[in-house]
Amino acid sequence: MTKPLKIYSIAELANCSNAQSHILGNKILLLEGQLPLPKDRSAASFAFESLVFVVCTAGRLRLNMDSTAIVMREGNLLALMPRQVIQMAESEGFEGKYLFLSKEILSHSLVKMNSFVSIANKLHNKPLNHLGTEQHVFFTSILDLIRQTLHNRNSHKEEMIIHVLQTLFYFVDDLLSEKAESNGKPSRANTICRNFLLLVSDHHKKEHTVKFYAEKLCLSPKHLALTVKNVMGESALKIINDFIILQAKSQLRYTDKTIQEIGYELNFSTQSFFGKYFKQHTGMSPGEYRSLDNQAALQTEAERED
């Protein structure tokens, strides 16, 4: 019988790590040393629930990601997407620095970064990149700043980290853009996807249909949908919905606007329609999401006072 794919949460990784861990709830984990997996791990394949950045500081590591062979050496930066299937092949004294980011912290950090979906697409297409000396210093400095912030006992810890993560993703975007320019002109399909993402980032508050974006790109909806699916691995409609939901979560968490006001701002004709849409994509109502977030904030505050 085929064993189910093991998917590791941030909490599991923190518990099984021999190295000192730097953690914020189940949202962020920063580690150094060997890959933090349980020694009794029996599954041949596994995945992480979170987005993971790994920078190699020593040795060599060979692994398979979605059946694609990857070899990491010193100075390499690897991005592992959430739930991406990994198979370990060989480690030769490999050590690294690891940053695990939950979907929740990503949604709060990157909702204002219109280019994030584009960055994620670039990382999916080219997960392994080499860092030059200055790039390596800058990236590890960002990790050090996250570590220092995680150990601070201040009332704005998470907000500070959110801004640091935005800096990290801008750095990654610049790195990937430099690599793309050195590799020549992008393909027609990649250009379509890039322009689609730019349009969605500009218009998602008002325009929710694939048809609108296809018309703006002078394409048929079917052509756009197939191109986006082939290049990005997700449907065009899902990408549009992701932008809308991230915007809604950000408004619910960081503003005092009513649910009705947020729904109108996102071009939903009624609060009821917005509520049904939000619950369909998140599993909870807008009110439940806001309430849970407030409870989490109160719990964090209580932990600081203790």
Q: Residues 238-252: pLDDT tens digits?
A: 889 988 887 888 788
β-strand partners of 51: 101
Contacts of 8 (CB under 8 A, 6+ apart): 37, 46, 47, 48, 49
Higher pLDDT, 77 or 6: 77
Quick check: 279 pLDDT over 90? yes
Does one domain contain both 210 and 278? yes
Residue 305 belongs to some domain of the structure: no
Q: Is residue 306 part of a domain?
A: no
Examine residue 268 and state whether it is found in any structural domain, yes or no. yes
CATH of the domain at 61: 2.60.120.10
| pLDDT of 185 over the 90 cut | no
Residue 183 pLDDT more than 60? no
In a domain, residue 304? The reply is no
The total of other beta-carbon atoms located within 10 Å of residue 31's CB is: 23
18 part of a folded domain: yes
Lowest average pLDDT, out of 19-28, 100-109, 125-134, 286-295, goes to 19-28
Q: What number of H helices and E strands is found in the chain?
A: 12, 9
- For residues 120 and 205, membership in a common domain is answered with no
Same domain for 19 and 115? yes
With respect to residue 302, please indicate whether it lies within any of the assigned structural domains.
no
Point out the domain boundary residue: 166, 181, 196: 181
Instruction: Say how many domains are in the chain.
Output: 2
Residue 130 has pLDDT above 60, yes or no: yes
| Separation between Cα atoms, residue 135 and residue 306, nearest integer Å | 39
pLDDT of residue 233: 72
pLDDT, position 301: 45
- 35 and 68 together in one domain: yes
**In the chain, where does DSSP find H-type helix?**
10-16, 103-110, 116-125, 133-150, 157-182, 188-203, 210-216, 221-232, 236-254, 259-265, 271-282, 286-305
CATH classification at residue 245:
1.10.10.60
Q: Tell me, yes or no, whether 29 and 136 share the same domain.
A: yes
Instruction: Give the end of a domain, one of 140, 155, 181.
Output: 181
- For residues 246 and 287, state if they share a domain: yes
Do residue 163 and residue 199 come from a single domain? Answer: no
Domain that holds residue 70: 6-181
Is 42's pLDDT higher than 60?
no
Does residue 133 sit in the same domain as residue 230?
A: no
168 lies in the same domain as 246: no
Provide mean pLDDT across the span 266-275: 95
Average pLDDT, the chain: 81
Could you give the CA distance from residue 71 to residue 142 in angstroms, rounded to a whole number?
A: 24
- Whole-structure pTM over 0.95, yes or no? no
* Domain co-membership, 250 together with 192: yes
Mean pLDDT of 102-110: 74
Shared domain check, 200 and 172: no
| pLDDT at residue 129 is higher than 50 | yes
If we measure between CA atoms, which residue out of 43, 15, 41 comes closest to residue 29?
Answer: 15
Q: How confident is the model at residue 276 (pLDDT cuts 50, 70, 90)?
A: very high
Average pLDDT value for residue range 51-73: 87
Structural domain ending residue among the three candidates 181, 201, 218:
181
User: Predicted confidence band at 272 (pLDDT cuts at 50, 70, 90)?
Assistant: very high
Instruction: Find the mean pLDDT for residues 22-27.
Output: 77
Amino acid 214: pLDDT:
95
Query: What CA dihedral angle connects 126, 130, 134 and 136, to 10 degrees?
Result: 90
Residue 23 in any domain: the answer is yes
Whether 140 and 224 share a structural domain: no
pLDDT at 305 (0 to 100) = 45
The answer, yes or no, to whether residue 106 has pLDDT greater than 90, is no
Residue 1 domain flag? no
